[in-house]
């Protein structure tokens, strides 16, 4: 089955800096890659997603890039703010059924 690795497990940045979180996946048939943000005690919330027919997608301060050949995708957050502090999860899906396989998460801490 699919396996998703996520790095780093923790990331500390200063407000205004950029943050990059990277994920690799194992199943070349995967074609959908969402990113979720989860605040403490809350539900995971979708922040951006990308399908395998595009290489990059941007939404204001957030962007995701996908390299299908290398089987990795990354989340980029620019101009970080303290409210960006949360755990971020990448996931991969597709090929067989629409279930999501998640990475273990990255705890992002943005210091004022």
Partner 1 sequence: NAGVMQNPRHLVRRRGQEARLRCSPMKGHSHVYWYRQLPEEGLKFMVYLQKENIIDESGMPKERFSAEFPKEGPSILRIQQVVRGDSAAYFCASSGQGGYFTDTQYFGPGTRLTVL
Q: In what helix (H) or strand (E) does residue 92 lie, and over which residues does it extend?
A: strand 86-92
Q: Please tell me whether residue 104 binds partner 1 under the rule CB under 8 A.
A: yes
Find, among 88, 87, 105, 77, the residue nearest to 15 by Cα: 77
Nearest-approach distance from CB 45 to partner 1, in angstroms: 7
Nearest-approach distance from CB 3 to partner 1, in angstroms: 12
What is the x/- site pattern for partner 1, positions 19-58, by CB under 8 A?
Answer: ------------xx-x-x-----xxxxx--x---------
Q: Which residues pair with 67 in a beta bridge?
A: 72
Contact residue for partner 1 among 10, 59, 96, 111 (CB under 8 A): 96
């Amino acid at each position: 089955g699919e396996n998703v690795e996520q790095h780093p497990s923790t990331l500390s940045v200063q407000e205004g800096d950029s943050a990059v979180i990277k994920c690799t996946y194992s199943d070349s048939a995967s074609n959908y890659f969402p990113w979720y943000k989860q605040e403490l005690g809350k539900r995971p919330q979708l922040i951006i997603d990308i399908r395998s027919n595009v290489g990059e997608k941007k939404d204001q301060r957030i962007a995701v890039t996908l390299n299908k050949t290398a089987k990795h995708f990354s989340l980029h957050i620019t101009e970080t703010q303290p409210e960006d502090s949360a755990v971020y999860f990448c996931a991969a899906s597709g090929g067989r059924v629409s279930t999501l396989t998640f990475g273990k998460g990255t705890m992002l801490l943005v210091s004022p």
